[in-house]
Amino acid sequence: MRPRLARAGVLGVGIALVSLLVPPDARAVNTLSNGVVSPSSGSTLTTFVFTVDYFSNNGQEATSVRALVGDEVVALSLVDGDANDGTFSGSSTLPAGSWPVTFEAFSQGQDPTLAGPTVVVIGPTPQPTPTSAPTRTPTARPRP
């Protein structure tokens, strides 16, 4: 039984040594999660709030976080936690259309992305065109 344990010990030490040879940036995992847009639908007059969580298991701070919505870029700011493990949020109105959302973070290492929900935006209901009252046409009166 001892030879098996000895081999397992050597294998474990070998794995540990190999993991030390991998640069720290390659071992770091920066992630985005819980990407939410609230509300998920509205009009061009609606303010949409974009929120996402950033986490780095190696202390690589997020230098910026944003939401991409069609051609729009919505900058997100840290609202809870810190730049290593925090929640980022921002808001914007949007043009009419159906827009898939992608969250992106830029950091001191790996730059994660997260596919978010699709936001549906309708244009405002047009106001009815006012109608004017019909004009009276004078009627001819017979002369006495």
CB atoms within 10 A of CB 88: 25
Percent of the chain with pLDDT over 70: 66
Query: What's the pLDDT tens digit per position in 127-139?
Result: 666 666 666 666 6
Higher-scoring residue by pLDDT: 30, 10? 30
Query: Per-residue confidence at 13, pLDDT binned at 50, 70, 90?
Result: very low
Query: What's the pLDDT tens digit per position in 63-76?
Result: 999 999 988 999 99
In the block, residue with structure tokens 């990407």: 35
C-alpha closest to that of 106 among 60, 142, 137, 71: 60
In the block, residue with structure tokens 């936001």: 119
- What distance in Å separates the CA atoms of residue 44 and residue 120, rounded to the nearest whole number? 10
Task: Tell me: pLDDT of 17 over 90.
Answer: no
pTM, entire model: 0.69
Query: Per-residue confidence at 14, pLDDT binned at 50, 70, 90?
Result: very low
3-state secondary structure string across 73-119: EEEEEEEEEECCEEEEEEEECCCCEEEEEEEEEEECCCCCEEEEEEE
Query: Per-residue confidence at 109, pLDDT binned at 50, 70, 90?
Result: confident
At 106 the pLDDT is 97
